[in-house]
A and B are shown apart, each in its own frame.
Chain A
Amino acid sequence: MYKTVLILKYLLKRRIAWVSLAAVVLCTTMVLVVISVMGGWLTMFKQSFHGLTGDIIVKNYSLTGFPYYQEMIDRIEKVDGVAAAVPEVETFGLFNIGSVPTAEVDVIGVPIDKIGQVNAFPSSLHRQYQLPEEMLKDPTLPADLRKQMEEQMKGPPSFALLDRCSVALASLPGDVRLANLPKAVAKRFWFDAAAGKLVFKGVMSSDEQTLLRGLSQDSAFKSDIDRLYNISNGGQVVDYQAEFPRSKQDVTKWPGLIAGLGVLYIHRDRNGEWISPLGSRMPVPGDPGLYGTPATLTVLGFHPGQSSIDPNNKSERNYWIVDDSRTQIWQYDNHYVYVPFEQLQSDLGMAAQPATLDTGEKITLPARTTEIHIRMKPEFSSDEALAAVKPKIEKIVNEVMREKEGDDVADSSRPDVETWLESQAMWINAIENEKLLTVLLFAIISVVAIFLIFCVFYMIVVEKTKDIGTIKSVGATSAGVAGIFLGYGLVLGVTGALLAMLASYGIVHNINELHALMGKWLGVQIWNPEVYLFDKIPNTMSTQDLIVIPSIAVLASVLGALLPAIRAARMNPVEALRWE
């Protein structure tokens, strides 16, 4: 009993011990925050990269890719455990939006209806999935729109333009009388008061445009109706046509393009506000005006059947921006655009095409791709299962190449097979090492806390020498006296660890807001997305870390108190009572 009482008394009355407590709290919080951010970074990194690739990837590092991919896919999909296999074409291109300066981009041709079978790319699409998901959280969402959103989220993604357009509106003019609209139009046109938008569902005809323009005399309102009309599938988009004089095509037939958010030059500033360096001409995310903007993508094709670039095979194609991809991986969001697989394959000269041999024989050159992404069924997706499946895939790839090209097929044209971890090994290993090193450094710094506890406790033991003599004279054993100081260290450790858990939880879960505040007040930006790939600092904590690190802190506190406790226990009571 006396141990508990004395520990509590010392804890409350010996304020010097609060220095030790502060040290335990600071050091534990520091390690917890660092390990959470670094661990979260690694986890996000793995999840995000895995989300954008298959479990196993067949790829050729040459831009010209490899042929016979469909034969490979057919056989791969029969392998036990394989859920799906989908090709992708990857190349480089020049991207241009209107008069905005040209940017270099990575271009990926994706079979959009199938890509969701092998990776989580669809969930990165803002208009088609993220925005509906956000809208469905609104309980005031009209029932028909809710149903439409739910249907859209169930279906595969698409490169098609919108069937529902909306434009941001500062305010609805007072003279608008929606009740005057014919029922058929009124059902498809509404003012979303919560979002401050005019919304139109489906294709707007020119008659409907005229009808809607007539609802108000307000010129800004009329302009908004024109904009709705232009971005709907049926719009003539005359203005955009004027910006693309080279195009002789019917703009309504331009293919769709999905751009990484950063490719559109849109990003958050230090204060977390969305900004566009291109000025007001460029809409910001969430503004549907972004979608329906025309863009030009230029890629260089290859000599048919060869691995060299054909300077005459330059493809400059107009696209509609139909969506933006927000993977939250900086590298992807700032450098990648996604176009229909067949379109890119054709523009690069990688589609199947007729050719004439030197002998005069007419043949068909096989279609090529640069990658095949393979998704395993959940029960086959462990690292061990992937390692077991990988040789089977390699065998299939080699068999197809040998069957089609003979035994003398060049190694350079033979695709490699990698698991997703191997594919990203360079990045993942680097981050794992960085995490280990950083945590180790902070842990070493935290050893200071042990020394601090030792010094403070040693001081307390010296200061309390007479009291130790007193309690021994009243019958306390040496073990009991040691127990006072070990228990004192334990209580300090537990209190410090609990406070540190609370503090680190608060910091980690609000780390992005704190970072934004630091940027605002101090002009400091520690987390640079260009370096760390993600535009957000990881803000999750692992349960394991939350148990292990505070436990180590408690142990360290007891360790710091150990020597002073032993000294106190060994103290001769007579000498202690005579201590001056």
Chain B
Amino acid sequence: MPQALENPTAADPKLDRGILRAVKIQKSYKMGDQIQPVLKEVNLVVQAGEFVAIEGRSGSGKSTLLHILGALDTPNNGSIEYQGEDIARLSGAARSRLRNTQFGFVFQFYHLLPEMNVTENTLLGPMIEHSWFAFRSRKAELRERAIGVLKELGMDHRLRHRPSQLSGGERQRVAIARALMNSPKVLLADEPTGNLDAETGSQIMTVLEKLHREQGQTIVMVTHDRALARQADRVLVIKDGRLDRAGAQT
């Protein structure tokens, strides 16, 4: 399994910089007159093909860290490097493109668009990536791929259904399909089973594990559930705004 490094500043420079690297990340929120620090100094290196779980209690800042890692949010201090490039310095449009082509998000509450059916939700990434003409010219190919991804996730019988017509587990499978549609280098999962019953949650975890195991998908998952976290290659714990190693799982 790839090497893990939680403190890159202190590391040997020869060490691999990973696909995703956070250096001295700080993030705080203003709550009225007070400034509430959430991330105090977080360092993290995620290797390509690694499955990293970040465990922490509610409000510990794990989702914030995930959003920063996925270029959805920016840190107050520190840098985020994706394949060696500091994404905090990129323009908004470049960060959007990065989210569209390199990262895939899976959220606790699925966040599917209610007006779109399962296929359309899955195709949202390519729809954003391509112009109207480019999409139309590749529509058949993209649709075929979307159906393929949905089939792998066992959702090919629900192609025309709306999110409101699906169960929680099915919605999350569609959300995973949407995240995988553009073949992301890193899949970022924020409490992917947090809104599901134990059995469905377990099924979703099986899906993620399978992706990691069979396709070498890099996954960063945050969860408050220690048992789920243990299914990852490496588990980190976020506490008091800092990231500590909890031990690699093999």
B73 CB contacts on chain A under 8 angstroms? 572-574
Contacting chain A: which of B13-21, B76-84, B120-128?
A: B120-128
B130 in contact with A473 (CB, 8 Å): no
Which of B72, B128, B130, B131 makes the CB contact (< 8 A) with A573? B72
A471 in contact with B72 (CB, 8 Å): no
A475 in contact with B97 (CB, 8 Å): yes
Q: How far is it, in angstroms, between the C-alpha of A474 and the C-alpha of B103 when the chains are bound? A: 8
B201 shortest CB reach to chain A, Å = 20
Q: A1-B127, A5-B127 are in contact. Are A474 and B97 (CB under 8 A)?
A: no
Q: How far is it, in angstroms, between the C-alpha of A471 and the C-alpha of B124 when the chains are bound? A: 8
A572 CB contacts on chain B under 8 angstroms? 73
Q: A1-B130, A470-B113, A574-B72 are in contact. Are A475 and B67 (CB under 8 A)?
A: no
A497 shortest CB reach to chain B, Å = 22
Residue of A nearest to B92 (CB): A478
B124 in contact with A474 (CB, 8 Å): yes
A474 in contact with B178 (CB, 8 Å): yes
Q: How far is it, in angstroms, between the C-alpha of A44 and the C-alpha of B10 when the chains are bound? A: 90
Which of A2, A10, A470, A472 makes the CB contact (< 8 A) with B96? A472
A6 CB contacts on chain B under 8 angstroms? 113, 115
B128 CB contacts on chain A under 8 angstroms? 1-2, 471, 474-476, 480
Q: A474-B99, A475-B96 are in contact. Are A9 and B116 (CB under 8 A)?
A: yes
A68 shortest CB reach to chain B, Å = 78
Q: How far is it, in angstroms, between the C-alpha of A6 and the C-alpha of B130 when the chains are bound? A: 14
Q: How far is it, in angstroms, between the C-alpha of A574 and the C-alpha of B107 when the chains are bound? A: 11
B115 in contact with A13 (CB, 8 Å): yes
Q: How far is it, in angstroms, between the C-alpha of A471 and the C-alpha of B129 when the chains are bound? A: 11
| Interface residues contributed by chain B, number (CB under 8 Å) | 35
Which of A1, A471, A472, A574 makes the CB contact (< 8 A) with B113? A471
A474 CB contacts on chain B under 8 angstroms? 99-100, 105, 124-125, 128, 178
B116 in contact with A5 (CB, 8 Å): yes
A146 CB contacts on chain B under 8 angstroms? none
**A466 on interface, CB distance cutoff 8 Å:** yes
**B226 on interface, CB distance cutoff 8 Å:** no
A17 shortest CB reach to chain B, Å = 12
A1 in contact with B125 (CB, 8 Å): no
B125 CB contacts on chain A under 8 angstroms? 474-475
Q: How far is it, in angstroms, between the C-alpha of A456 and the C-alpha of B144 when the chains are bound? A: 37
A473 in contact with B111 (CB, 8 Å): yes
Q: A9-B115, A470-B111, A474-B178 are in contact. Are A1 and B135 (CB under 8 A)?
A: yes
Q: How far is it, in angstroms, between the C-alpha of A480 and the C-alpha of B97 when the chains are bound? A: 12
Q: How far is it, in angstroms, between the C-alpha of A572 and the C-alpha of B71 when the chains are bound? A: 12
**B172 on interface, CB distance cutoff 8 Å:** no
B132 CB contacts on chain A under 8 angstroms? 1, 4
B116 CB contacts on chain A under 8 angstroms? 5, 9
Q: A1-B127, A480-B128, A574-B73 are in contact. Are A475 and B100 (CB under 8 A)?
A: yes
B208 shortest CB reach to chain A, Å = 18
A176 shortest CB reach to chain B, Å = 76
B107 CB contacts on chain A under 8 angstroms? 473, 577
A475 in contact with B101 (CB, 8 Å): yes
Q: A474-B100, A475-B99, A476-B96 are in contact. Are A2 and B124 (CB under 8 A)?
A: yes
**B11 on interface, CB distance cutoff 8 Å:** no
**A292 on interface, CB distance cutoff 8 Å:** no
Residue of A nearest to B98 (CB): A475
Which of B72, B135, B136 makes the CB contact (< 8 A) with A473? B72
Q: How far is it, in angstroms, between the C-alpha of A79 and the C-alpha of B131 when the chains are bound? A: 68
- Annotate A457-484 by CB proximity to B: 1 below 8 A, 0 otherwise: 0000000001101111111111110000
Max chain B CB contacts within 10 Å: which of A469, A475, A574?
Answer: A475
**B93 on interface, CB distance cutoff 8 Å:** yes
Q: How far is it, in angstroms, between the C-alpha of A529 and the C-alpha of B6 when the chains are bound? A: 90
B92 CB contacts on chain A under 8 angstroms? 477-478
B29 shortest CB reach to chain A, Å = 10
Q: A13-B115, A466-B111, A470-B111 are in contact. Are A5 and B120 (CB under 8 A)?
A: yes
A466 CB contacts on chain B under 8 angstroms? 111
A1 CB contacts on chain B under 8 angstroms? 126-128, 130-132, 134-136
Residue of A nearest to B112 (CB): A470
Which of B64, B114, B129 makes the CB contact (< 8 A) with A475? B129
Residue of B nearest to A13 (CB): B115
A391 shortest CB reach to chain B, Å = 64
A472 CB contacts on chain B under 8 angstroms? 72, 96, 99
A10 CB contacts on chain B under 8 angstroms? 115
Q: How far is it, in angstroms, between the C-alpha of A533 and the C-alpha of B172 when the chains are bound? A: 72
A9 shortest CB reach to chain B, Å = 4
Q: How far is it, in angstroms, between the C-alpha of A10 and the C-alpha of B134 when the chains are bound? A: 23
Residue of A nearest to B108 (CB): A577
B97 CB contacts on chain A under 8 angstroms? 475
B114 shortest CB reach to chain A, Å = 8
A479 in contact with B67 (CB, 8 Å): no
Q: How far is it, in angstroms, between the C-alpha of A476 and the C-alpha of B128 when the chains are bound? A: 6
Q: How far is it, in angstroms, between the C-alpha of A574 and the C-alpha of B114 when the chains are bound? A: 19
Q: How far is it, in angstroms, between the C-alpha of A469 and the C-alpha of B105 when the chains are bound? A: 12
Q: How far is it, in angstroms, between the C-alpha of A134 and the C-alpha of B76 when the chains are bound? A: 86
- Annotate A167-197 by CB proximity to B: 1 below 8 A, 0 otherwise: 0000000000000000000000000000000
B127 CB contacts on chain A under 8 angstroms? 1-2, 5
Chain B residues 45-83 with CB under 8 Å of chain A are 64, 67, 70, 72-73
B105 CB contacts on chain A under 8 angstroms? 473-474
B67 CB contacts on chain A under 8 angstroms? 574
A2 CB contacts on chain B under 8 angstroms? 124, 127-128
A13 CB contacts on chain B under 8 angstroms? 115
B101 in contact with A469 (CB, 8 Å): no
B99 in contact with A473 (CB, 8 Å): yes
B162 shortest CB reach to chain A, Å = 10
Q: How far is it, in angstroms, between the C-alpha of A4 and the C-alpha of B99 when the chains are bound? A: 21
Residue of A nearest to B132 (CB): A1
A479 CB contacts on chain B under 8 angstroms? 93
A5 CB contacts on chain B under 8 angstroms? 116, 120, 127
Q: How far is it, in angstroms, between the C-alpha of A30 and the C-alpha of B99 when the chains are bound? A: 47
A473 CB contacts on chain B under 8 angstroms? 70, 72, 99, 105, 107, 111
B36 shortest CB reach to chain A, Å = 15
- Annotate A31-52 by CB proximity to B: 1 below 8 A, 0 otherwise: 0000000000000000000000
B172 shortest CB reach to chain A, Å = 14
Residue of A nearest to B175 (CB): A470
B111 CB contacts on chain A under 8 angstroms? 466-467, 469-470, 473, 577
Q: How far is it, in angstroms, between the C-alpha of A573 and the C-alpha of B126 when the chains are bound? A: 19
Cross-chain pairs A/B with CB under 8 angstroms, 12 sampled? A1-B135, A6-B113, A467-B111, A469-B111, A470-B113, A473-B72, A473-B105, A474-B125, A475-B99, A475-B101, A476-B96, A577-B107
Beyond the given pairs A1-B132, A467-B114, A477-B93, 8 more chain A to chain B contacts, judged by CB atoms under 8 angstroms and listed by A's residue number, are A1-B127, A5-B116, A470-B111, A470-B113, A474-B105, A474-B124, A474-B125, A577-B111
Give the 3 A-B residue pairs with the shortest CB-CB distance, closest first.
A475-B100, A2-B127, A1-B135
